Amino acid sequence: MTALDTLFPSEEQIPPGVRLPAYLEQREYLVGGELRTWAGELNPVASPVFVRTPEGLKQKVIGATPLLTSRESLDALAAAVKAYDSGRGVWPSLKVAERIEHVERFLTAMRAQRTAVVNLLMWEIGKTQPDSEKEFDRTVDLIVETIRALKELDRTSSRFVQDQGIMAQIRRAPMGVALCMGPYNYPLNETFSTLFPALLMGNTVVFKPAKFGVLLVRPLLEAFRDCFPPGVINIIYGRGRETVGALMESGQVDLFAFIGTNKGASELKRMHPRPHRLKSVLGLDAKNPAIILEDADLDNAVKECITGTLSFNGQRCTALKLLVVHRNIVDAFLAKFTAAVDKLKPGMPWDPGVAVTPLPEPGKGTYLQGLVDDAVSKGARVVNQTGGQASRSFYSPTVVYPVTRDMRLASEEQFGPVVPVMVFDEDAEAVRLVVESQFGQQLSLFGKDSARIGRFIDAFSNQVGRINLNCQCQRGPDTFPFNGRKDSAEGTLSVADALRVFSIRTLVATKTTPDNTALVQSILTRRESDFLTTDFLF
């Protein structure tokens, strides 16, 4: 048994508060306001946590979810299409205030499920307890903020504009049926960050949970069923290609919200028979670099690069995935950085102070080792003491140096706890690396010389969506725009942007003649339209 193996608990060592009540065999899925029971094949949910038994370590299988086929997913789509009813359904016709009431009811029910969802985040994807709690709370806050932003948008849209003798009221209207799919690293937050704006704007939704972090939606299924009219939200399970492929091929999906790989997104988009009728918002792969200049505050750079590269074991789309350090300080940086990496505590997601946890993807350790081996075969070394150690679902944070551009680690998104460190001499080399990258989400710059930082900002402002000065890359605050260039994203998300993404501006316009003005006045004062109204939403 390796040292890492000893970190896995026996059943008795699992704290009572995080123990799962029982094997969670889920057969329910949500279609047309009804929780249907699936009698077919199930997909076992294997936790990244292994448990010590008298026969040795055993991977904990915590439950199972339905492996639906294209038939059930097309039923879900039909329910969403019916509920939308070409824009004439109950949900797209509701007043904004009424849609908000439905979502607020859901929020109350969701808050009551915090413990169940947080526990499943730990068990299904190995996220630490504080980060799992943060993901839940941040998601609730995001929905609250989205409601606030929608009220603001509605208030702004109540005004009339006048130009060239034409007056108009411009509002945002829903677009149709949305397919929402999120990633396994933020299975709640990232999925709900598209699902709720889509719903609030009056669209109907088919939602398919990520490949891991699936059972954690189960505690919310009744709330989804009870808080929305039938067919407004439909939740399906199963293999992506079979279930989601059929939805795209039907041509009835109008909005595609997908957080995952650019390869997966491209394959699915290509299946849609009328691409001009599909609006997509995509959060995809990234290889965010941190560029560390000679005059950087090293303690701060190390601190930010530790969380940037290794929080949730590097499994964040915004993680720093390449450290590019000036030759003059690379030794000093590495000494401090590797010491900090080796201090990170491995353990179970619920262990206090833990930073390194088991990885949910089967075979991930082998994949990461392949990246490290490739770099080592081309002249790099593992430079931290605990680096390269692996066992079962554990892979120790591994710092690899010096990484050069011919190595896979220089350009491939590792999405795990391997930290490639590259050295540079001339600023132009760092600029070229970013310009030539396939990805363009964010980057971090560490340094103090304002003239030099200013030049870097200008060089990078057409390359990435966000330039972080002396801090790690991140999505938040959620009110800030989150996007990317090249293969990293399509469209922009933020609390306010998401509402725009899932809607289209629609206006009522007329020539400003006395008769037309009187007509509009009459509609407004007699409240004869739900769309053309100056009612103020508090």
Residues near ligand G3H, by CB under 6 A: 185-186, 190, 316-318, 474-476
Q: Between residues 87 and 476, which has the closer beta carbon with respect to ligand G3H?
A: 476
Q: Between residues 172 and 475, which has the closer beta carbon with respect to ligand G3H?
A: 475
Kind and range of the H or E element at 279? Answer: strand 279-283
Q: Between residues 172 and 316, which has the closer beta carbon with respect to ligand G3H?
A: 316
- Closest approach of Cβ 154 to ligand G3H, in Å? 27
Name the nearest CA neighbour of 11 among 52, 46, 48: 52
- Closest approach of Cβ 319 to ligand G3H, in Å? 8
Distance CA 444, CA 460 (A): 10
Residue 167, strand partner residues: 162, 510
Q: Between residues 287 and 475, which has the closer beta carbon with respect to ligand G3H?
A: 475
Residue with tokens 């896979």: 408
**Alpha-helical segments (H) within 330-388:** 330-342, 364-377
- Closest approach of Cβ 315 to ligand G3H, in Å? 8
Is 472:305 a contact under the CB 8 Å cutoff? yes
Q: Between residues 454 and 477, which has the closer beta carbon with respect to ligand G3H?
A: 477
Distance CA 188, CA 210 (A): 9
Distance CA 146, CA 126 (A): 28
| Strand bridging mode 56-66 / 42-53 | antiparallel
Distance CA 131, CA 114 (A): 13
CB burial class (10 A; 0-12, 13-18, 19+) of residue 275?
A: exposed
- Closest approach of Cβ 264 to ligand G3H, in Å? 15
- Closest approach of Cβ 470 to ligand G3H, in Å? 16
SS3 230: coil
Distance CA 208, CA 216 (A): 12
- Closest approach of Cβ 364 to ligand G3H, in Å? 16
Longest dimension (CA), the chain: 88
- Closest approach of Cβ 223 to ligand G3H, in Å? 24
SS3 118: helix
Q: Between residues 50 and 196, which has the closer beta carbon with respect to ligand G3H?
A: 196
- Closest approach of Cβ 283 to ligand G3H, in Å? 6
Q: Between residues 186 and 446, which has the closer beta carbon with respect to ligand G3H?
A: 186
Amino acid at 349: P
Name the nearest CA neighbour of 180 among 227, 128, 217, 131: 217
CB burial class (10 A; 0-12, 13-18, 19+) of residue 57?
A: middle
- Closest approach of Cβ 480 to ligand G3H, in Å? 11
Q: Between residues 72 and 413, which has the closer beta carbon with respect to ligand G3H?
A: 413
Is 517:524 a contact under the CB 8 Å cutoff? no
Distances (CA, A) of 352 to 39, 122, 127, 417: 41, 13, 13, 20
- Closest approach of Cβ 105 to ligand G3H, in Å? 27
Q: Between residues 66 and 314, which has the closer beta carbon with respect to ligand G3H?
A: 314
- Closest approach of Cβ 515 to ligand G3H, in Å? 52
Q: Between residues 127 and 225, which has the closer beta carbon with respect to ligand G3H?
A: 127
Name the nearest CA neighbour of 418 among 265, 315, 520, 325: 315
Q: Between residues 29 and 482, which has the closer beta carbon with respect to ligand G3H?
A: 482
CB burial class (10 A; 0-12, 13-18, 19+) of residue 356?
A: buried
In the sheet that holds 34-37, the strands lie side by side as: 34-37, 28-31, 233-235, 204-208, 177-181, 255-259, 279-283, 489-490
CB-facing half-sphere around the CA of 80: CA atoms within 13 A: 30
- Closest approach of Cβ 368 to ligand G3H, in Å? 18
Q: Between residues 176 and 209, which has the closer beta carbon with respect to ligand G3H?
A: 209
Q: Between residues 225 and 475, which has the closer beta carbon with respect to ligand G3H?
A: 475
- Closest approach of Cβ 321 to ligand G3H, in Å? 12
